Amino acid sequence: MRINRTFSIPVELVHELRKKHNQSETVTRALRKYFDQDASSDTISQASTRQLMGALHNRSDIDPTMKKLLLHILSK
């Protein structure tokens, strides 16, 4: 179910949004991402250091040297 809402946003965003094919879907995705980040920040602050190191090790954008270091620490 969908509902129409009216919000005030900066004019620059209006110009960018007009370029999008499905403006409602664009706004929906942006709001979901915003709310998901709020929820994930609680998860991050509650995660142990070991869990954070494991998550970092599994990322694809981590330097190989950092991955080796994390693996060494995690294997203890």
pLDDT at 66: 95
Q: Within a 10 A sphere around the Cβ of 62, how many other Cβ atoms?
A: 13
pLDDT at 45: 80
Contact 16, 37 (CB under 8 A): no
pLDDT at 38: 65
CA 31 to each of CA 7, 34, 58, 61, 72: distance values in angstroms, whole numbers, following the listed order:
13, 5, 27, 26, 39
Please state at what angle helix 11-18 crosses helix 23-46, rounded to 10 degrees: 120
pTM of the model: 0.49
In percent, how much of the chain has pLDDT > 90?
A: 75
